[in-house]
């Protein structure tokens, strides 16, 4: 998708990239906390993550 944005001179690319980097950081932090047993998932959230 990055390539398509750049090829098409997408004006919001930098803003989109910043949002993506922030989201990846949040997800990584949550994953670390989950593996450390600091947070858990509700059944509804787990179902959504599994795609169902």
Give the three-state DSSP class for 41. Answer: coil
Q: Model-level pTM?
A: 0.67
How many domains does the chain fold into? 1
Residue 44 has pLDDT above 80, yes or no: yes
Q: Where is 47: in which H helix or E strand?
A: helix 43-49
pLDDT digits (tens, 9 = 90+) for 13-43: 999 999 999 999 999 999 999 999 999 988 8
Residue 43, domain extent: 2-49
Contact 33, 39 (CB under 8 A): yes
Joined tokens for residue 27: 């997800």
At residue 49, what are phi and psi to the nearest 5 degrees?
A: -65, -30
- In sequence order, which residues have a C-beta less than 8 Å from that of residue 30 and are 6 or more positions away? 39
If one compares 46 and 26, the residue with the highest pLDDT of the two is 26
CB atoms within 10 A of CB 8: 9
- Tell me what pLDDT residue 41 has: 86
């Amino acid at each position: 998708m990055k390539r398509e944005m750049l090829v098409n001179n997408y004006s919001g690319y930098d803003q989109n990239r910043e949002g993506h980097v922030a989201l990846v950081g949040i997800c990584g932090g949550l994953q670390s906390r989950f593996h450390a047993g600091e947070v858990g998932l509700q059944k509804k959230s787990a179902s959504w993550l599994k795609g169902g």
